[in-house]
Amino acid sequence: MSNPKLQAGKIVLDRSPQAVDTRVSMPKYRLDSIASLARQMSFASLATREAQITAAETLLLEIDPLKAYPVEFVIFRITGYRPKTADARLLTGLALQHDLGLLIEEVSDGLDVRTTALAEPVLQIDDLTARFNVTSKTIQRWRRRGLPARRFIFSDGRRRVGFLLSTVDRFLSTHEDQVSRGTNFTQVADSERDAIIERARRLAIMCRCCEAEIARRIARKLNRSPLTIKYTIKKHDEDHPEAAIFPLAPEAVNENERSRILKAFRRGLPIDRLARRTCRPRSSVYRVIVEERIERINRRKVRFIDDELYHQPDAQLVVKDLVTTQELAAAQSTEDRRVPRDLPPYLQALYRTPLLTPARERALFLKLNYHKFCFVKARRQLEPDFARARELNELEGHLNLANETKNDIVRANLRLVVSVARKHLRPGIDLMELVSEGNLTLMRAVDSFDVHKGFRFSTYATLALMKGFARSVPQLRARTSAGHDDTLSSIPDRQQTFTNQIFLREEVQRLLGRLSTREREIIGSHYGIGNAAPASYDELSIRLGLTKQRVRQIEQAAIEKLRSVVTA
CATH number (domain holding residue 539): 1.10.10.10
User: pLDDT at position 103, please?
Assistant: 94
Helix pair 255-266, 282-298: axis angle to 10 deg: 80
Residue type (1 letter), 536: S
Closest to 228 measured CA to CA, from 135, 290, 310, 154: 135
Binned at pLDDT 50, 70 and 90, residue 24 comes out as very low
Q: Do residue 315 and residue 243 come from a single domain?
A: no
Are residues 318 and 284 located together in one domain of the fold? Answer: no
CB under 8 Å to 225, separation ≥6 — which residues?
A: 133, 134, 182, 183, 184, 185, 219
d(CA 235, CA 200) in angstroms, rounded, equals 13
Based on the domain organization, do 326 and 430 belong to the same domain? yes
Is residue 132, in this structure, part of any structural domain at all?
A: yes
Lowest mean pLDDT among 25-39, 181-195, 308-322, 326-340: 326-340
Closest CA to 207 of 250, 265, 240: 250
In a domain, 507, yes or no: no
467 shares its domain with 527: no
How far apart (Å, rounded) are the C-alpha atoms in residues 57 and 480?
56
Query: Residue 31 domain-assigned?
Result: yes
How far apart are alpha carbons 67 and 64 in whole angstroms? 6
Q: Is 5 helix (H, G, I), strand (E, B) or coil?
A: strand
**Count of domains forming the chain:** 4
Q: 21 is in which domain, residue-wise?
A: 11-167
Q: How far from 244 is each of 197, 198, 201, 230, 240, CA to CA, in Å?
A: 10, 12, 9, 13, 6
Q: How confident is the model at residue 9 (pLDDT cuts 50, 70, 90)?
A: low
What is the average pLDDT across 98-116? 91
End position of a domain, from candidates 107, 132, 167: 167
Among residues 271, 298, 325, the one where a domain terminates is 298
Give 14's strand partners: 302
Q: Are 68 and 92 in contact (CB under 8 A)?
A: yes
Q: What are phi and psi of 369, to 5 degrees?
A: -75, -25
Taking the C-alpha atoms of residue 91 and residue 34, their distance in angstroms, rounded to an integer, is 9
Which band of pLDDT confidence, cut at 50, 70 and 90, is reported for residue 424?
Answer: confident
- At 344-398, the pLDDT tens digits run 777 777 777 888 888 999 999 999 999 999 998 888 878 777 888 889 999 999 9
| Residue 305: burial class (beta carbons within 10 Å; 0-12, 13-18, 19+) | buried
Examine the pLDDT at 425 and tell me if it is beyond 50: yes
C-alpha–C-alpha distance, residues 462 and 297, integer Å: 32
Co-location of 87 and 206 in the same domain: no
pLDDT at 195 over 50: yes
Long-range contacts of 138-143 (CB under 8 A, 24+ apart): 138/182, 138/183, 140/19, 140/20, 141/17, 141/182, 142/171, 142/175, 142/178, 142/179, 142/182, 143/20, 143/101
Q: What pLDDT shows up at residue 244?
A: 92
3-class state of residue 303 by DSSP: strand
Residues 74 and 29: beta-carbon distance below 8 Å: no
DSSP symbol at 246: G
Q: CA–CA separation, 181 vs 169, rounded Å?
A: 17
Residues 279 and 390 in one domain: no
H or E element at residue 401: helix 389-412
Q: Please state, in angstroms and rounded to a whole number, the distance separating the CA atoms of residues 367 and 325.
A: 13
User: Quick one: 455 and 363 in the same domain?
Assistant: yes
Report whether 343 contacts 418 (CB < 8 A).
yes
State whether 227 and 291 are in the same domain: yes
For 226-260, how does the pLDDT look when each residue is reduced to its tens digit (9 = 90+)?
A: 877 888 898 899 989 999 999 988 888 888 988 99
Is it the case that residue 306 has pLDDT exceeding 90? Answer: no
Given 432, 463, 482, which residue is the final one in a domain? 482
Who wins on pLDDT, 104 or 504? 104
Q: Helix (H, G, I), strand (E, B), or coil: what is residue 164?
A: strand
Identify the band that residue 565 occupies on the pLDDT scale cut at 50, 70 and 90. low
**In this predicted model, which residue has the larger pLDDT, 522 or 410?**
410
Domain assignment present for 422:
yes
How far is residue 437 CA from its own chain's centroid? 20
Q: What pLDDT was estimated at residue 5? A: 42
Mean pLDDT, rounded, of the chain: 81
Q: What is the pLDDT of residue 23?
A: 40
CATH number, position 381 = 1.20.120.1810
Asked whether the beta carbons of 134 and 171 are under 8 A apart, the reply is no
DSSP structure class, residue 159: E
**Count of all residues that appear for the chain in the document:** 568
For 210-231, what is each residue's pLDDT tens digit? 888 898 889 888 887 787 788 8
Strand order in the sheet with 122-123: 122-123, 159-164, 150-153
Residue 230 backbone phi and psi in degrees, to 5: -65, -40
Does the CA dihedral 92-97-101-107 come out positive or negative? positive
User: Do 76 and 158 share a structural domain?
Assistant: yes
How many CB atoms sit inside 10 A of residue 306's CB?
26
Residues in Cβ contact with 262 at an 8 Å cutoff, skipping those fewer than 6 apart? 288, 289, 292
What average pLDDT does range 142-153 have in this prediction?
89
The answer to the question of residue 495 being in a domain is: no
Taking CA 495 as the corner, what is the angle to CA 490 and CA 499, rounded to the nearest 5 degrees?
Answer: 105
Domain presence at residue 177: no
**Amino acid (1-letter code) at residue 442:** L
DSSP-assigned letter for residue 305? E
Task: Say if residue 433 is in the same domain as residue 346.
Answer: yes
**Nearest residue to 135 via CA among 252, 221, 225, 218:** 225
Lowest mean pLDDT among 119-123, 185-189, 208-212, 438-442: 185-189
- Of the candidates 72, 75, 67, the one whose C-alpha atom is nearest the C-alpha of residue 95 is 67
Confidence of residue 94 (pLDDT cuts 50, 70, 90): confident
Asked if residue 441 and residue 534 are part of one domain, the reply reads: no
Are 51 and 89 part of one and the same domain? yes
Tell me if 325 is assigned to some domain. yes
Q: What pLDDT, in 10s, does the model give residues 60-85?
A: 989 888 888 888 899 999 998 877 77
Residue 172 lies in a domain: no
User: Of 39, 146, 33, nearest to 90 (Cα)?
Assistant: 33
Helices (H) and strands (E) in the chain, counts: 26, 7
Measured distance CA(59)–CA(100) in Å, rounded: 8
